């Protein structure tokens, strides 16, 4: 029976794509490789692509995350939750400190963030807070950084932040959702090859096709590196060897039991 793990008919095509969602099909995969390739791509897409997020915030009048902010409907916890959902595109690896300053009543949106040429707000209409008093002043500083995956606030709290600065859980991944589906297809005389359909949803800071390409490149680089590594035979550790000697020594020193014969 003939088989070909990497068929010449392997191809990828775009079924549909817009700024935030794309559907792609990889065809001609050997039996079982649809799930293998799909699972690998899904894990890399969700955890290994760089993105930008707010990592810490400082709001005038709020000393900690459980503070009620004067003249604002939302408390600090709600404001922090709103900040986590803002999406950015960062064109530098350096942390960027940005400000939001608004006087008088009204809604505070992500578009009110005073950005610089290195930062772009992908979700400008996202709600942050609501100021209810005419004389109130909303004065906030946020830090936007590049990172991978998800970093909890506890990690940043251990860095001894200045008084008044509150750490946020940071969701850096630009990919929001990935779905894979595998079905059979015909290759030559065989009908048990795999077709992998993969749906990628992003925040808009990166296109779905770019996300898929970067994930493929990350996997490729890892496998190329592994293929160049010489596999060496594992040698027994010194500890295990010495512990065996000690065991043998203990057994030789242990008193031997005398065998007794029963008398008839």
Q: Which one, of 54, 206, 81, lies nearest residue 145 by Cα?
A: 54
CA distance 175 to 200: 7
Please report which confidence band the pLDDT of residue 1 belongs to, taking 50, 70 and 90 as the band edges. very low
Q: What is the pLDDT of residues 215-248, one digit of tens each?
A: 999 999 999 998 887 777 777 766 655 555 555 5
Structure tokens at 62: 């709020």
195 compared with 246, residue with greater pLDDT: 195
CA distance 40 to 226: 16
Mean pLDDT of the chain: 87
79 compared with 136, residue with greater pLDDT: 79
H helix intervals, 151-264: 153-157, 208-228, 238-253
Q: What is the pLDDT of residues 91-116, one digit of tens each?
A: 999 999 999 999 989 999 999 999 99
Looking at the predicted structure, is the pLDDT value of residue 251 above 80? no
Q: In the chain, what percentage of residues exceed pLDDT 70?
A: 86
Q: What is the pLDDT of residues 18-42, one digit of tens each?
A: 999 999 999 999 999 999 999 999 9
85 compared with 161, residue with greater pLDDT: 85
pLDDT at 264: 42
Q: Name the burial class of residue 39, with classes exposed (0-12), middle (13-18) and buried (19+) by CB atoms within 10 angstroms of its CB.
A: exposed
Place of tokens 């300053």: 101
10 compared with 200, residue with greater pLDDT: 200
Secondary-structure class of domain 6-46+175-225 per CATH: alpha beta
How is domain 50-171 classified at the CATH fold level? RNA Polymerase Alpha Subunit; Chain A, domain 2 (2.170.120)
| pTM: predicted TM-score of the whole model, two decimal places | 0.76
- Domain extents in the chain: 6-46+175-225, 50-171
Inter-residue contact 62 to 71 (CB < 8 Å): no
Structure tokens at 241: 């060897």
Please report which confidence band the pLDDT of residue 155 belongs to, taking 50, 70 and 90 as the band edges. confident
pLDDT at 21: 97
């Amino acid at each position: 029976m003939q088989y070909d793990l990497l068929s010449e008919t392997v191809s990828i095509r775009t079924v549909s794509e817009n700024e935030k969602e794309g559907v792609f099909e990889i065809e001609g995969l050997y039996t079982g490789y649809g799930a293998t390739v799909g699972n690998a791509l899904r894990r890399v897409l969700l955890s290994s692509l760089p993105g930008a997020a707010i990592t810490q915030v400082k709001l005038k009048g709020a000393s900690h995350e459980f503070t009620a902010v004067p003249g604002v409907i939302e408390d600090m916890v709600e404001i922090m939750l709103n900040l986590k959902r803002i999406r950015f595109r960062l064109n530098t690896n350096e942390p960027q400190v940005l400000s939001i300053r608004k006087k008088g009543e009204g809604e505070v949106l992500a578009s009110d963030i005073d950005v610089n040429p290195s930062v772009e707000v992908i979700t400008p209409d996202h709600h942050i807070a609501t100021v209810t008093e005419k004389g109130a002043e909303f004065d906030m500083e946020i830090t936007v950084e590049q990172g991978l995956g998800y970093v909890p606030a506890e990690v940043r709290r251990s860095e001894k932040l200045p008084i008044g600065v509150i750490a946020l859980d940071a969701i850096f991944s630009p990919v929001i959702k990935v779905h894979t589906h595998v079905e059979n297809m015909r290759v030559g005389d065989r009908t048990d090859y795999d077709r992998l359909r993969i749906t990628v949803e992003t925040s808009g800071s990166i296109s779905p096709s770019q996300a898929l390409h970067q994930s493929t490149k990350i996997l490729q680089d890892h496998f190329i590196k592994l293929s160049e590594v010489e596999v060496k035979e594992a040698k027994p550790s010194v500890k295990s060897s010495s512990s065996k000697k000690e065991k043998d020594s203990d057994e030789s020193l242990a008193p031997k039991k005398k065998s007794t014969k029963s008398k008839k």
